[in-house]
Amino acid sequence: MANSKYAYVRNFELPDPLLPGCFLVCRLDGHAFHRFSDEHGFTKPNDERALELMEHAAKDLMSEYNDIVLAFGESDEFSFLLRKSTHLYNRRHAKILTTVTSYFTSCYVFHWPEYFPGKPLRYPPSFDGRIVQYPDEQAIRDYFAWRQADTHINNLYNTVFWALIQQGGKTTAEAHATLTGTVSSQKNEMLFQRFKINYNETSARFRKGSVVVREVATQDATDANPMPPQPPAVQAETSRPSPKARKGDKTKMAIQVLHCDVIGDEFWKARPHLLAG
């Protein structure tokens, strides 16, 4: 072959296997999304369309990769849990990481017009990603608890912050100053007293983030859906089961988006397969 004398350069490609027996968490973060959300007029403090687009991309990714058993998203970030025994791409680090990051990005751009009709992308958005290895179930539980606690903290702050600005007529500097040093109960009180907002009645999508799992599909997707009557915390939307999932399973499984608590035991006890070997 004409290129055989150069082929030695492949020797510089070193193996990069991830450790067997570990759970893998791949977390994606929007790159410079502060500017991106400004340029594209995202609603503050939360843009429902933008969050739904993130969820759509996450569901597409899980349809493509059965070894992703759980995802959690908030704002411009999404975390994906690969089951600990996954053999995806022989557990090659860069291969898994780039494929997940690239496909998620592609889905985000691909589906943009469905969520922002009439508002074309002004420039290509991107995400960075990392894979973290976790050796045991407790660390996984704590990882998702960490992200959901973060969601709560950020969303409560942002909800009051933007109420102060949008309804209270404050500048951003004033809003910041008002909130400095306040604890959760004070923020809740401020919301209720000044703006008649009961934080716990705001959208669970904003308060709890987006939990994506494969669940047994129900006949009536509307029942599963967030709007009433619902179990207070849990709100689910049904997506079409992926061809792969359908083929492999007897019961009809579908990728669902929930806005439920993942800090307590209930979520995990009801889904023992998430942490199984």
The binding site for GTP comprises 29-34, 75-76
Distance CA 50, CA 46 (A): 8
Distance CA 68, CA 84 (A): 10
Q: Which stretch binds its own copies (CB under 8 A): 97-105, 173-181, 200-208, 222-230?
A: 97-105
Total residues at the site for its own copies (CB under 8 A)?
60
In whole angstroms, how close is the CB of 86 to its own copies at the nearest point?
13
Out of 60, 74, 215, 261, which residue is the one contacting its own copies (CB under 8 A)?
A: 60
Q: Which stretch binds its own copies (CB under 8 A): 70-78, 138-146, 218-226, 232-240?
A: 138-146
In whole angstroms, how close is the CB of 119 to its own copies at the nearest point?
14
Which whole-number Å values give the CA distances from 104 to 28, 228, 248, in the listed order? 9, 31, 23
Task: Convert residues 169-188 into a mask of x (bound to its own copies by CB under 8 A) and - (unbound).
Answer: ---------------x----
Residues near 76 by Cβ (< 8 Å), separated by ≥ 6?
A: 29, 30, 33, 36, 37, 50, 54, 127
Helix (H) or strand (E) holding 241: none
Task: Convert residues 17-56 into a mask of x (bound to its own copies by CB under 8 A) and - (unbound).
Answer: x-xxxx-----x--x-------------------------
Tokens of 191: 């919301």
Give the residue from 100, 150, 168, 90 showing the smallest Cα distance to 129: 100
Helix (H) or strand (E) holding 19: none
Which whole-number Å values give the CA distances from 259 to 17, 36, 74, 187, in the listed order? 34, 25, 10, 22
Q: Where are the beta strands (DSSP E) in 109-175?
A: 127-134
Query: Which 115-134 positions form the footprint of its own copies (CB under 8 A)?
Result: 121, 123-134
Distance CA 201, CA 186 (A): 17
Task: Convert residues 64-93 into a mask of x (bound to its own copies by CB under 8 A) and - (unbound).
Answer: --------------------x---------
Query: Which 4-23 positions form the footprint of its own copies (CB under 8 A)?
Result: 6-9, 11-15, 17, 19-22
When asked if residue 268 is in the footprint of its own copies (CB under 8 A), the reply is no
When asked if residue 155 is in the footprint of its own copies (CB under 8 A), the reply is no
When asked if residue 142 is in the footprint of its own copies (CB under 8 A), the reply is yes
Environment class of residue 182 by beta-carbon count within 10 Å: exposed (0-12), middle (13-18) or buried (19+)?
middle
| Contact residues: its own copies, CB under 8 A | 1-3, 6-9, 11-15, 17, 19-22, 28, 31, 60, 84, 94-95, 97-99, 101-103, 105-110, 121, 123-136, 139, 142-143, 145-146, 149-150, 152-153, 184
